[in-house]
Amino acid sequence: MPTSQIPVITIDGPTASGKGTVAQRVADQLGYHLLDSGALYRLTALQALRRGTDLADEHALAKLAEHLHISFTGEAIFLSHENVTDAIRAEEVGNTASKIAALPAVRQALFALQLGFRKAPGLVADGRDMGTVIFPHATLKVFLTASVEARAERRYKQLIAKGIPANMEGLLMDLKARDDRDTHRAIAPLVPAEGAHVLDTSTMTADEAVVQVLAWYAAIGK
């Protein structure tokens, strides 16, 4: 099957909107590959923080991104054979990822890597610009959203469950700041893609969101 004919479902949205969980479950249900694009930026951020890379040095960050050794095994994420699934979810890493994601050179460095995840029988890609930039001709485009309060509560529960200290007020401030950066950046701002189905998950469970996404996909007849 030509790459251009391999079906792609894009699931975009702000931090903690539930897109990662929904994308994983949709991919599992369909037997499709999964691309967690946010993880790529978090991996770049983690590597930069570990190496003490100047976060204002766009060229150095882009070069670092180009040479990441990344692998996904189920829900586990590996960086040079080290399981960093939990490490990349730290708030410092997330905030750093949001900042470097606004850099054109970093986005370009990760562009081809993301396209390479499109393999048969299909792909579910989650992120912030999957439907607008990376896969603009996707079979189905979904944009998940939720109130900042609902998203902060989800992130708080996720962190506490993993034994990571968290503060609700701090999370709210961080999410608002991250939303502002993501929606106002000059390159690939966070907006619903043309033709995307917008789904507010503020009062929905992940399972309910998955059912809706699968229903939209089934309606396309693919």
The pLDDT, as a whole number, for residue 163 is 87
For residue 104, cis peptide bond before it (omega within 30 degrees of 0): no
The rounded distance, in Å, linking the Cα atoms of 173 and 152 is 9
pLDDT tens figures, 160-179: 888 888 899 999 999 999 89
pLDDT tens figures, 39-67: 999 999 999 999 999 999 999 999 999 99
How many Cβ atoms sit within 10 Å of the Cβ of residue 164? 12
The pLDDT, as a whole number, for residue 187 is 82
Residue 15, annotated as binding a ligand? yes
Residue 7, annotated as binding a ligand? no
- The neighbouring-strand residues paired with 73 are 76
Quick check: 181 pLDDT over 70? yes
Residue 112, annotated as binding a ligand? no
Say whether 77 sits in a helix, a strand or coil: strand
In a 10 Å sphere around its CB, with 0-12 CB exposed, 13-18 middle and 19+ buried, how is residue 13 labelled?
A: buried
Residue 21, annotated as binding a ligand? yes
The rounded distance, in Å, linking the Cα atoms of 26 and 9 is 9
The pLDDT, as a whole number, for residue 50 is 96
Q: Has residue 67 been placed in a domain? A: yes
Residue 19, annotated as binding a ligand? yes
How many domains are contained in the chain? 1
Q: Has residue 19 been placed in a domain? A: yes
58: closest CA among 70, 48, 43, 68? 48
Quick check: 222 pLDDT over 80? no
The pLDDT, as a whole number, for residue 12 is 97
pLDDT tens figures, 112-143: 889 999 999 999 999 999 999 999 999 999 99
What is the average pLDDT value for the chain, to the nearest integer? 92
pLDDT tens figures, 60-75: 999 999 999 888 877 7
Say whether 3 sits in a helix, a strand or coil: helix
The whole model's pTM is what? 0.87
> Which CATH number fits the domain that encloses residue 79?
3.40.50.300
Longest dimension (CA), the chain: 49
Q: What's the gap between Cα 11 and its chain centre?
A: 8
Range of the domain at 180: 3-217
The pLDDT, as a whole number, for residue 74 is 74
Quick check: 191 pLDDT over 70? yes
In a 10 Å sphere around its CB, with 0-12 CB exposed, 13-18 middle and 19+ buried, how is residue 187 labelled?
A: middle
Return the structure tokens found at 91: 């708030």
Model confidence band, residue 91 (pLDDT cutoffs 50, 70, 90): confident
Q: Has residue 222 been placed in a domain? A: no
Residue 13, annotated as binding a ligand? yes
